[in-house]
Amino acid sequence: MNDTRMETLEKAVAALKVRLPKKPEVALVLGSGLSEAFGISEGGVRIQWGEIPGFPLPTVAGHSGEFWAGEIHGKMVLVQRGRTHFYEGYSLDEVVFATRLFALLGIKTLIVTNASGAINREYSAGDLVLISDHINMLGENPLRGGNLDRLGPRFSDMSSAYSPRLRTLAKDAAEEEKIALREGVYLAALGPSYETPAEIRAFRALGADLVGMSTVSEVIVAAHAGMEVLGISCATNLAAGVDPEASLSHEEVIETTRRVGETMRQLLLAVIDQL
């Protein structure tokens, strides 16, 4: 199993490398609706995931399914426009395929973004939240099975999965840009149905401030490979039951990311500038 997975990854890395202008220093993952909000910088190259052997393709609206590689503030950045999810029917090996590509490319810094529901009653729809930690409620771990020794150890430390150094850097960048930035714990649920009010009450009791359906598996794999991770979430709506009158929809998620996308872009560019 290890050999097959590594062979597939190595073929994908080889196909990606020949398209890259030079070796990327930073990888940036754009979650639901954020690809269009972040846009495409001038210059650089666009690479469709379908051109990379073994790369799983997204099936959800708001996920572009391509890479953009180019310079941002003098740093070579590989931007992942969209992602795949466990609920789409993919295995976790497929969900974290891109993250493992980043590790094999030698990228040391990973910035992950997502859309989430606000569990914390002090949050509002549209808030940007720095992820300080996570809770994995997917019922699965991407490191299960034979360990990929080339990428990391059998048992990996998760005590500082979200880099304290990068979180401080992001707070400083937000302050300089006069952007309000909260900080909290993100919980990953399986989906694709949204959570019930009772589940949200349970998640709040566990210490979660946000809930979503992504990111955690990618961060586990990144930590396994020794990458430094920064996570920023856009709270696109209040989670079930927080506003008893509200109903939840994916259209609302996409609309909120469009509304606050420019602020997220401003923050991400400021962070990259300081790396």
- List residues with catalytic annotation: 32, 63, 85, 87-88, 115, 213-214, 237, 250
Place of tokens 């979180």: 167
b/e sequence 202-217, b meaning 16+ C-beta within 10 Å: ebbeeebbbbbbbbbb
Beta bridge partners of 153: none
CB atoms within 10 A of CB 17: 12
Identify the CA nearest to 24 among candidates 33, 39, 13, 32.
13
Amino acid at site 58: P
Asked if 121 contacts 212 with a C-beta cutoff of 8 angstroms, the reply is: no
Amino acid at site 25: E
| DSSP SS3 for 93 | helix
Helix 2-17 / helix 97-104 crossing angle, nearest 10 deg? 70
